[in-house]
Amino acid sequence: MKKLSFLSKMGKAIVVFASTLVFSAFMSGGDNTAQRFKDAAMNLDKTRHTLINEYDYWPKCGIRVTGSHLASLISLNELQQMLPCPLYVSGPHHDGQWDLNNEATFGHYNPEAIEYLAGLAQRVVSDKKFVKMSKPLIDNYLYRQMHIMMVIHDALYDGTYSQKERERIFNTSVETKGWEFDDYDAGFYLNRLRLDDDSYVFSNISYRFLHFWARRWADGTIDPFYQGLSTIFKAYYPEYEYSAERYLIPDDEWFEEGGYEEEVYVVIDGSELRLRLGPSTSADTFKWGDGSNRHPKVGERFLYLSEEGDFYQIDFHGHALWVSKKFTHLE
């Protein structure tokens, strides 16, 4: 069976790590370096989409678009110069540039570098004045991404899965060329998440965060990375406490939990219709693992979620995707 992917140019290089590296670094306690990154933090409302050709959802976006925006605040080259050791031990990132389109490998981070950043994060979040000053920006631009990362990690380590089961999930993820895989047979369920602000996260976002954690497991940085992330997140959101009942929503509860009083469906009228990640003809298409576009069949019906401009948003087997109104109708 073909595996699914969400990107026209897949790459196992995960630039999103820049998001927390940047966030950790600007919280660092090293005088000029700390101030440089604190200044960057206070400019989260002035970022640019710089590194990838993917529809720009910022700030309620996925892992790659987040990294693309945060890279406009500080470059890889600048970040590396501020670390006491190499950031990567192997991977496709060279000459101060992140390579997002590499299909053969992904960046393996240096555990020493991540431990260093985690320690800096711990020292700087003790600066309550800075936390208070920067919280409105974190709320608007990084809360959602950090929250998803916390929930995905905690869902994997809350005791539901044995170490053997978790490692099988991680191995399957690392071996997958794209950004998504089907693994419901083991009861691994991240199809839909609910966050503390009562917003929802579909699997085309959550699986990308799963891949990120799998790759951090593979390169040996998952523990220090989570230490740094949780230190940051709980400094801003101390009320967070994981429970599967709170954050994971099974299919049979989705409609009730999602608040759908009356189901409306989008019916496919056109053949070879493209499924897109955003409401635009320039948005990336939903693809198989071999890079070919996946198309719904004429006559298929999918739950209507929303609409914007010339597009309907549909629930395509747990993925929030967009289809053209021109080749569909509501029912």
pLDDT tens-place values along the chain, 331 residues long: 344 343 333 344 444 444 555 555 444 445 677 777 778 889 999 999 887 767 787 888 888 889 889 989 988 999 898 899 999 999 988 888 888 767 678 899 999 999 988 888 888 788 899 999 999 999 999 999 999 999 999 988 988 788 998 898 888 888 876 555 555 444 455 667 888 887 778 766 777 888 899 999 999 999 999 999 999 999 999 999 999 888 887 656 655 544 444 568 899 998 889 999 888 888 888 887 667 888 999 988 888 888 888 998 888 876 788 999 989 998 8
Position 156 in a domain: yes
Position 255 in a domain: no
Residues 232 and 289 in one domain: no
Position 75 in a domain: yes
Residues 92 and 141 in one domain: yes
Instruction: Give the CATH number of the domain where residue 292 resides.
Output: 2.30.30.40
Residues belonging to the chain:
331
pTM score above 0.85: no
Residues 224 and 291 in one domain: no
Residues 121 and 212 in one domain: yes
Sequence-separated contacts (24+) of 185-189 with Cβ below 8 Å: 186/161, 187/160, 188/161, 189/248, 189/250
Position 253 in a domain: no
Residues 78 and 207 in one domain: yes
Give the pLDDT confidence score for residue 73 in this predicted structure.
Answer: 92
Give the pLDDT confidence score for residue 111 in this predicted structure.
Answer: 97
Number of domains forming the structure of the chain: 2
Q: Which range of residues forms the domain containing residue 291?
A: 260-330
